[in-house]
Amino acid sequence: MAWRCSGRTNAELISNLSRNAILSSDRVANAMAKVDRANYVLNNSDAYQDSPQSIGHGATISAPHMHAHALENLLPFLNPGSSVLDVGSGSGYLSAVLHHLVSPSDPHLPKGRIVGIDHIPELVEWSKNNLSNDGLADALDDGSIVMVAGDGREGHPTGPYDAIHVGAASETLPQRLVDQLKAPGRMFIPVGVYSQAVWQVDKDSHGEVTKKELMGVMYVPLTDAVKQKRGY
């Protein structure tokens, strides 16, 4: 059903994701409604297609249904004031949606912090422009959203994080990312090479880590910048 969720507008795309039970929470649907996907793709005519799309430099923006699955899975850890790491942040789309979940507009609620990390500096600069064009310049200015160039497999030293999203497939589970999860915390990460699956990695309040396979997927590899740019 996921591939039937394409729409002609952002609102229609989100409605179709809800109709097909990929989106199940109002919080996630409302956050996605605040982020116009057309600001984060190269071809605006394909912005609301439920499919992955190239964003240059060997990178892609995931299909909307996969972003929806990730957000719904991480939702218990996406609260006002939460800190989130978005690995392979690419165009900045998911970082924007995450921002609306952890930094709601209500001034009485605490602001969270999104750290988007990508190893392609050109994508990082592009993502900042995309976020600004989507009305999030203030969030970049006040540090609610931070976009950095770096190796996401190593995480980022501003952790630990309540939630970690990984937007490319790692050959094995990166221990550095597990270490940067809060206790409790959750990571959504595709793992594998030829046969890939999304793993839900949970760390409980005592620091115990459990792993659960959620679904089979096909993502681009989580690799270094040189291999990515030359086509893996």
What is the spatial distance between Cα 130 and Cα 147, in angstroms, rounded to a whole number? 11
What is the spatial distance between Cα 187 and Cα 180, in angstroms, rounded to a whole number? 10
Q: Which of 62, 83, 103, 127 is catalytic?
A: 62
CA torsion, ordered 189, 193, 195, 201, to nearest 10 deg: -20
Is 15 an annotated catalytic residue? no
What is the spatial distance between Cα 89 and Cα 165, in angstroms, rounded to a whole number? 9
What is the spatial distance between Cα 227 and Cα 232, in angstroms, rounded to a whole number? 5
- CA nearest to 95, candidates 57, 152, 45: 152
Catalytic residues: 62
